[in-house]
A and B are shown apart, each in its own frame.
Chain A
Amino acid sequence: MSDTLSPQIRFGSNAGQPATRRDGLAKVTGVATFAADNTPEGLLYAVYAPAKIARGRVSHLDVAAAEAHPGVTHVITPQNRPELQGDPSAKPTMFSFRTEVLQDDTVCYAGQPIALVLGETLEAATEGARLLAPQYVADPVRVALDDNLATSFEPAGFGLPGGASHGDVEAGHAAATRSIDVSYETAAQYHNAMETHAIVAQWDGDRLTLDTPSQALNLSCAGFAYFFGIPPENVTLRSPYIGGGFGSKAIPTGPQVLAILAARMTQRPVKLMFTRQQMFGPVGHRGATRQRLRLGVDENTALTVIDHEGLAETSTFDDFVEPAANASQDLYAAGALRASHRLVRLDVGTPGPMRGPGEASGSAALECAMDEMAEVAGMDPLEFRLRNYAETQPGTGLPYSSKALRECYAEGAARFGWEGRPLEPRQMQGADGLLTGWGMGTALFPCPMFAAEARATLRPDGTALFETSAVDMGQGAWTVLAQIAADSLGLTLDQVEFRAGHSALPDGGVAGGSGHTATAGGALHAAGGDVLRQLGELATEDPQSPLYGAGNSSLVARDGWLLLEEDESRRERFADILIRAGQTEMTGTGHGGRAPEAAGRHAMNSHGAVFAEVKVDPDLCQVRVTRLVGAFAAGRIINPRLTESQLMGGMIWGTSFALHEAARHDRRSGRIVNADFAGYHVPVNADVSGLEVITVHEDDPYVNALGIKGVGEIGIVGTVGAIGNAIWHATGKRVRHFPIRIADLLAP
């Protein structure tokens, strides 16, 4: 046969190797099972009807018409919804939001579920939901920041960043010899993972099995269990593969809860898969922001003040802040800083964390403002940033655990060819007649860690099993965590069996905040270490072992042997140690997380520098990003191949933020008018060329035992501003909102 060949799958053996994905084979052959791929016997299909107004109430549903449709089995509305045991307004876990589960007939945003239809087929349930033909009593809607500005408020409460400040802000303003006062706006964005949210729910007595994508398996179990009055351990959640999450799949949503309820009510398995349009509703989004930035510099072009006020939208029934002003907190050495947030209640679904929450939108504004400040000061934008480089954490003076940002600037600039860039805009025009512009932005993302547990089992044949309910949503956990696990016992990757993505395993924590590899990886590494410690004790206390009497601390593990570090001729196989001790296997456990005292000693961030080239058609004003070079320092890189992919994905998100993504509301109904992939634009392959990633070496002994900082989000940070600044440099136009569209550049 002419078009087949043997798999070219190479696995590296440990951390630092560019191993190909362990789940690669399953994903390229189509056997990787995503939630909605499950079709158990006796399945019912659920489809929910979304509200088509944003504020008011549902006055009529044609339930009879839906019920009469062949194949429709049930219609659930607020009138007949079976009781839930948990209060949908309560917050049982740290990732709980007030949940819309047909409590009553009020509508708080377009896309809110107003009924659930069950059918024997997807086609029947879909048609049933359409036949409901809802009628509404609609109230005037508020969908833009200005629509409800008068009642804006300062957020307060758990998980809501109020802001930060240091130094004397008023004195900083007064000391400035030159200053800017600019306002930037960023649009509402919807995560739109390619896999829409989906769930297959099956009850067996009071035990519940769920196939649903989750970025935090065990937390999700607790979140779902709460609604049904069962203990979290009664819920089995399987999430072996997630078709993208980006922050939207950590929080149980109303339609998922309703599907579980329907399964309990009918005592049949129920599948619910969101449509693409429904991804613009009850699954969270990045709230729109307006940010005022006031910067000032003294005669030495040193920043005297960064004054960053963020205004963001939230829903009428819950609070979430897109904490844009956070982006200003750790980055530049300003004499004084004020970073503050305010919220505006709008008739939209509750926003939530979306890739780089706060940092992405805040950096977009900050990095453009820095460019404007450099322009006013008549200085090269990179030089201006170096002039204001923070050697220690601004405000606290804490040392950084590591910070190779200077190297990122240098390597990125060299690769890009930044030197010789004209200061003035509209100076570069190619032979093709296109206006060319170069811009840059700094990237920063903190290194949070959650908590994770793991278990390691050494087997008599010298292989090992590692288990944790970690999550691979594309970052590469299946591969990277296995690499860390293998290293912990000195094994090769193919000697390690790794189980993840199932809630019955030790709690793998949260895939979020770019902290999953560090946290779950830390737990796995500690579990392997626990096995080695026990092996060492057995061997060194056993007169028959070549290692008898050796100190436990000077032992190392390699290729299935335990060796004495200073005399490698003294060694013994893992298997022999086990056999002599009469054990068939050995189990160790490990915990991942950051010791509280470590957090107080150092400031911890990943850093980067992004350089962008755009070409703009002088007549049509079409913008193309032709080159994008990102240099990032993010501690230890476990897998360079997958890291490059993550960082590139983030930079493409930055391009998307800068030029493509925006949810647009109809001002009368409050509906999002572009709620699909035809209207809500994200980059396609033709939008991406000239992408380059450099990772700058960084040893970080403080951030965690493995020295890992995380790369999931930082790629988007810095990129947006770099593109905005490049557009200014090409055209001379400062567009102070994102996305930047052709119309903005055509305007005189």
Chain B
Amino acid sequence: MSLFISLTLNGEARDVSIDDPRVTLLDLLRERLALPGTKKGCDRGQCGACTVLVNGRRANACLMLAAGLDGAQITTIEGLARGEDLHPVQAAFIEHDGFQCGYCTPGQIMSAVGLIAEGDAGSDPERIREGMSGNICRCGAYHGITLAVQEASRRMAAKEEGDAA
């Protein structure tokens, strides 16, 4: 079987051949497209380690079949920084020590970017905690994660206001 899909992957148009209909987006990225930044923690939608943005919304890559994604825009952790410039969420994770081992971190960061874009949490810690609860961190870096998302959210809002002014 051979199937081709077109993706916009981290801003780049790609034609991707799918060698097996069972391939998930996660295994496509990790095992076939040399993008292992997205992590596998459970492979069944229970941990959030594989969170990526699909058409701007956060999604568990382990739960999506690659073959169904023709035309989709995918952003992974590898596509977040612009060259040397970190995304504000990435910078805030370093500053607030929002991780220890770093294994859940790509998923946490993509989830935070998605959460901020959803616009429901703002910098309210309770809502951030709730909105980030689909991403398990076994190291227990939650305190730093919440602070990081709060700060990034604030900075991005301030930047947007500045840009609009």
In the complex the two chains form, is B39's CB within 8 Å of A29's CB? Answer: no
Tell me if B63 is interfacial: C-beta within 8 Å of chain A: no
Flag if A648 contacts B20 (CB, 8 Å): no
Cβ–Cβ contact B23 & A194, under 8 A = no
Q: Which residues of B contact A684 (CB under 8 A)?
A: 133-136, 142
Q: Which residues of B contact A275 (CB under 8 A)?
A: 43
Residue of B nearest to A29 (CB): B81
Chain B residues, Cβ within 8 Å of A37 = 30, 36-37
In the complex where A123-B23, A685-B133 touch, is A4 in contact with B87 (Cβ < 8 A)?
A: yes
A-B contact pairs, 21 of them (CB 8 A): A2-B159, A3-B88, A6-B86, A7-B84, A8-B91, A20-B97, A25-B94, A30-B37, A31-B37, A36-B40, A37-B37, A39-B31, A196-B40, A275-B43, A276-B43, A472-B101, A645-B139, A646-B100, A648-B143, A684-B133, A685-B132
Are B133 and A30 touching (Cβ within 8 A)?
A: no
- On whether the beta carbons of B133 and A645 are closer than 8 Å, the reply is no
The CA of A121 and the CA of B31, in the complex, are separated in Å by 9
Which of B42, B49, B132, B144: most chain A Cβ within 10 A?
A: B42
Let me know if B14 is at the binding interface, CB within 8 A. Answer: no
Note all chain B residues with C-beta closer than 8 A to A149: none
Binary interface encoding of chain B residues 82-108 relative to chain A, with 1 for a CB under 8 A from any of its CBs, else 0 = 101111101101110101111111100
Q: Please measure, in the bound complex, the distance between the C-alpha atom of A642 and the C-alpha atom of B132, giving whole angstroms.
A: 22
A21 proximal to B (CB < 8 A): yes
Interface centre among A1, A37, A472 (most CB of B within 10 A): A37
Q: Are B102 and A273 closer than 8 Å at their CB atoms? A: no
Distance between Cα atoms of A33 and B132 in the complex (Å): 24
Is the C-beta of A9 less than 8 angstroms from some C-beta in chain B?
yes
**Contact at A676–B133, with CB atoms within 8 Å?**
no
Report which of A20, A29, A71, A276 forms a contact with B46, defined as CB distance below 8 A.
Answer: A276
Bound together, the chains give a CA A120 to CA B143 distance in angstroms of 42
Assign chain B's interface to a size class.
35 or more
Residues 1-33 of A contacting B (Cβ, < 8 Å): 1-9, 20-21, 23-33
A residues near B, CB below 8 A? Answer: 1-9, 20-21, 23-34, 36-37, 39, 71, 121-124, 127, 192-196, 241-244, 246, 273, 275-276, 472-476, 641-642, 644-646, 648-653, 676-678, 682-686, 688-689, 691
CA distance A677 to B47 in the complex (A): 7
Are A193 and B103 within 8 A (Cβ)?
yes
**In the complex the two chains form, is A7's CB within 8 Å of B94's CB?**
yes
**A243-B76 contact, Cβ under 8 Å, with A194-B136, A641-B97, A677-B46:** no
A3 touching B87, Cβ below 8 Å: yes
**Smallest CB–CB gap between B121 and chain A, Å?**
11
Within 8 Å by CB of B139, from A2, A21, A644, A649, lies A649
Nearest-neighbour CB distance to chain A for B89, whole angstroms, equals: 8
User: What is the CB-to-nearest-CB distance from A317 to chain B, in angstroms, rounded to a whole number?
Assistant: 28
Q: Chain A contacts of B25 at CB under 8 A?
A: none
- Interface residues of chain B, those whose CB is within 8 Å of chain A, are 19-20, 22-23, 27, 30-31, 34-44, 46-47, 49, 76-78, 80-82, 84-88, 90-91, 93-95, 97, 99-106, 109, 125-126, 128-130, 132-146, 155-156, 159-160, 163
Q: How far is the CB of A86 from chain B (nearest CB, A)?
A: 30
Is the beta-carbon distance between A27 and B99 smaller than 8 angstroms? yes
Bound form: Cα–Cα A30–B87 in Å: 13
CA distance A502 to B88 in the complex (A): 32
- Residue of A3, A9, A685 near B146 (CB, 8 A) is A685
Which of A246, A676, A677 has its CB near the most chain B CB atoms (within 10 A)? Answer: A677
Q: Using Cβ atoms and an 8 Å threshold, which residues of chain B touch A194?
A: 39, 41, 47, 49, 101, 103-104, 136-139
Chain B residue numbers with a CB within 8 Å of A644 are 97
Select from chain A the residue with minimum beta-carbon distance to B109.
A28
Q: Of the candidates B22, B38, B94, B130, which one forms a contact with A20 in the assembled complex, judged by CB atoms under 8 Å apart?
A: B94
Q: In the bound complex, what is the Cα–Cα distance between A23 and B9 (angstroms)? A: 26
User: Which B residues are in CB contact (< 8 Å) with A6?
Assistant: 84-86
A39 x B36 contact (CB < 8 A): yes
How long is the Cα–Cα vector from A634 to B164 in the complex, in angstroms?
50
Q: Which residue of B lies closest to A639 (CB)?
A: B97
Q: Given A2-B163, A27-B105, is A121 in contact with B90 using a C-beta cutoff of 8 Å?
A: no
Closest 7 CB pairs of A and B: A30-B37, A243-B103, A474-B100, A474-B101, A652-B140, A27-B102, A30-B77
**Other-chain contact of B136, A29, A645, A682 (Cβ < 8 Å):** A682
Q: Please name all residues of chain A whose beta carbon is closer than 8 Å to the beta carbon of B43 when the two chains form the complex.
A: 275-276
Question: Measured between alpha carbons, how far is A276 from B62 in the docked complex, in Å?
Answer: 13
Give min CB distance, A41 to chain B, whole Å: 12
Closest to B93 in A: A28
Asked if B22 contacts A123 (CB within 8 A), the reply is yes
Which of these, A123, A196, A678, contacts B20 with CB under 8 Å? A123
In the complex, chain A residues whose CB is within 8 Å of the CB of B40: 36, 196, 273
Beta-carbon contact of A39 and B34 below 8 Å: yes
Contacts A29-B81, A36-B40, A193-B138: A685 and B101 contacting too (C-beta < 8 A)? no
Is there an interface contact between B102 and A688, defined as CB atoms closer than 8 Å?
Answer: no
Nearest chain B residue, comparing its CB with the CB of A30: B37
Beyond A2-B160, A21-B94, A686-B130, whether A242 also contacts B101 by CB under 8 A is yes
In the complex, given contacts A244-B138, A472-B101, A688-B143, what are 10 additional A-B residue pairs having Cβ atoms less than 8 angstroms apart?
Answer: A3-B156, A6-B85, A28-B109, A30-B37, A31-B78, A39-B34, A193-B103, A194-B101, A653-B140, A689-B129
* Beta-carbon contact of B91 and A7 below 8 Å: yes
| Known contacts A1-B82, A4-B82, A7-B86; is-contact A642 B37 (Cβ 8 Å) | no
Name which residue of chain B comes closest to A245, CB basis: B101
Chain B residues, Cβ within 8 Å of A36: 30, 36, 40
Could you say which of B23, B42, B91 contacts A276, with CB atoms under 8 Å apart?
B42
Closest residue of chain B to A649, judged by CB? B140
Task: For the complex formed, measure the closest distance between the CB of B9 and the CB atoms of chain A, giving whole angstroms.
Answer: 14
Asked if A244 contacts B81 (CB within 8 A), the reply is no
Distance in angstroms between the alpha carbons of A24 and B76 in the assembled complex: 17
* Distance to closest chain A CB from B131 (angstroms): 8
Distance in angstroms between the alpha carbons of A257 and B97 in the assembled complex: 35
Which A-chain residue is minimally distant from B76 (CB atoms)? A30
- How many Å from the CB of B88 to the closest CB on chain A? 6
Nearest Cβ on chain A to B24's Cβ, whole angstroms: 9
CA distance A33 to B57 in the complex (A): 26
- In the complex, the answer to whether B136 meets A676 with C-beta atoms within 8 Å is no
- Give CA–CA (A9, B38) in the complex, Å: 23
A-side contacts of B91, CB under 8 Å: 5, 7-8, 28
> Does B39 lie within 8 Å of A28, measured CB to CB?
no
Q: Could you say which residues of chain B place their CB within 8 Å of the CB of A273?
A: 40
Residues on the A chain within 8 Å of B30, using CB: 36-37, 39
Contacts of A691 in B (CB 8 A): 143
Chain B residues within 8 Å of A652, by CB: 140, 142
Cβ distance A241 to chain B, nearest Cβ, rounded Å: 6
Is B84's CB under 8 angstroms from A122's CB? no
Residues of A within 8 A of B135 (CB): 684-685
A5, A473, A642: residue with the most chain B Cβ atoms closer than 10 Å: A5
Chain B contacts of A8 at CB under 8 A?
91, 94-95
**With known contacts A648-B143, A686-B133, A32–B102 Cβ distance under 8 A:** yes
Nearest-CB distance from B111 to chain A (Å)? Answer: 10
